[in-house]
């Protein structure tokens, strides 16, 4: 079963972990915008990584918490969950 982590899931986790409401279309449509520009700091991103590790029951690739853009982060998460499948 192959399932990809998506922009809507990231937006939901940004809301849950950092209290930020971000339109998933804005995340997908602004590939060069950084997490900082969306209002997410490193602690918020670390909380999202922790949530994903709990959800998937496996560690996420090292360095995911230091990704600068949502698209880079999604790519790292998808590599991690594909490798762990």
pLDDT value for 1 = 37
pLDDT reported for residue 3: 79
pLDDT of res. 39 = 96
pLDDT in tens, the chain (85 residues): 347 899 999 999 999 999 999 999 999 998 899 999 999 999 999 999 999 999 999 999 888 999 999 999 999 999 998 887 5
Q: Which CATH superfamily is domain 7-83 in?
A: ACP-like (1.10.1200.10)
CA gap 79, 46 in Å, rounded? 17
Predicted local distance difference test score (pLDDT) of residue 85: 57
Q: Which long-range contacts (CB under 8 A, 24 or more apart) does 27-30 make?
A: 27/70, 28/70, 28/71
Domain range list for the chain = 7-83
Q: What pLDDT shows up at residue 35?
A: 96
**Beta carbons within 8 Å of 2's beta carbon, 6+ residues apart:** 82, 85
Kindly report the pTM of this predicted structure.
0.91
């Amino acid at each position: 079963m192959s399932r990809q982590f998506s922009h809507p899931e990231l937006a939901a986790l940004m809301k849950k972990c950092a209290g930020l409401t971000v339109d998933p279309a804005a995340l997908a449509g602004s590939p060069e915008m950084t997490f900082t520009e969306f209002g997410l700091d490193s602690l918020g991103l670390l909380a999202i990584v922790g949530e994903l590790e709990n959800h998937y029951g496996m560690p996420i690739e090292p360095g995911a918490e230091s990704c600068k853009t949502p698209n880079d982060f999604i790519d790292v998460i998808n590599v991690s969950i594909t490798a762990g499948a």
